[in-house]
Amino acid sequence: MTTGASPSFSIVIPTFNHAHYLGRAIESVLKQGEAGYEIIVVDDGSTDNTTQLMHEYEVRTGGKARYVFQQNQGPGAARNHGVRLAKGRYVLFLDGDDVLLPDALGRFREALEQCPSVDFVWGGSIRVELNGQVEQTPFEALSADRDRNFELYLRRGPGMIYSGTFLIRKTVFDRIHWPEKTYIWADVVFYSHLLSRHDGTGFQEPVVKILKRCDSLQHNLDLIRRDRLKTVDLLFDPNVLPAHLMSYRAEYLAYTLVSLIKLFDDRGFYHDALSLSHRAFSECPRYLLRLKHLRRYRRILQKLIWQQATQVLLSSHQ
């Protein structure tokens, strides 16, 4: 990249108290064969040594790795902040604890050269589970029908797309933004909107290694209680989603409620599970009044009664 030229790629890395991982993520970008890129690290209010680490990288890279700090607002706000600062024609989001694989940017560039009119390129990924098991998630073949791509992703959810696998034309963000009102499942909202409104291409080879962590926001029950159902309204925003796709809202709401009921039931939070079951039967009877859901509802009632009886018995003996 010549001095003063705008980079082709902006690698946006949102981070929060991940200084112990962040250096590895940055190094994986610096080792890319491509020259036309910049790194933007958006620190979402970290209290560890992220600031010190990034000042060292700014000096070492001559400003190619840029650092900005913001008060804690969540990953969506951090990504949007990074996009506003981006100088590249294309943006790639890399989580601070993930690793960009060798020649990932080169593969993205080759795909763009073959299909220069597309708004995004989608690559594969390697996922490392908590138990160390390694699984490769290939790129899903895209249809020429945007509605079909939207439907497929809506029904498969976050296990289908991971950060770092999408290179996105910056002009896409003139209309589509990362949701900032939820800390979890923001990916589902964003990529549903992207697939419903834009055309893309892809390739099978993995471009990023995803490291699963037990402290991920996706496992935080307090955030799940607060934010998970918000994704329904955020995804089915009539100002963003094409009008004819709003008909999928009932199906997505039912899926969301069923997944939450199962989660809280499995974790022993039977009051939450029962409350969500009542909402499900009220708002989505077409999807929820099935034998397997009625059986789960009965089991939840039985376990809640047993839990309450046990608590009363224990308190009477204190």
Domain positions in the chain: 9-215, 242-316
Closest CA to 224 of 198, 262, 194, 252: 262
pLDDT score of 2 more than 50? no
CB count, 10 Å around CB of 226? 13
What's the average model confidence in pLDDT over 32-48?
94
pLDDT of residue 161: 86
**Could you read off the pLDDT of 205-216 as tens digits, one per residue?**
999 999 876 555
pLDDT above 60 for 80:
yes
Encoded tokens for 216: 């991920």
End-to-end CA distance of the chain: 73
SS3 74: coil
User: At residue 3, does pLDDT exceed 60?
Assistant: no
63 vs 14, 58, 99, 166, 240, CA distance in Å? Answer: 17, 5, 21, 24, 36
Residue 220, token pair as written in the block: 């935080």
Cα 89 to chain centroid, rounded: 22
Lowest mean pLDDT among 187-201, 237-251, 284-298: 284-298
Whether the per-residue pLDDT at 5 is higher than 80: the answer is no
CA distances in angstroms from 123 to 40, 101, 182, 253, listed in the order given: 21, 11, 26, 29
pLDDT value at position 260?
Answer: 95
DSSP class of residue 133 equals: -
d(C-alpha 197, C-alpha 242), whole Å:
8
Q: Which option is the CATH number for 9-215: 3.40.50.460, 3.90.550.10, 3.40.30.10, 3.40.50.2300?
A: 3.90.550.10
Helices (H), 160-284: 186-197, 221-227, 230-235, 249-267, 270-283
- How much is the mean pLDDT over the chain? 90
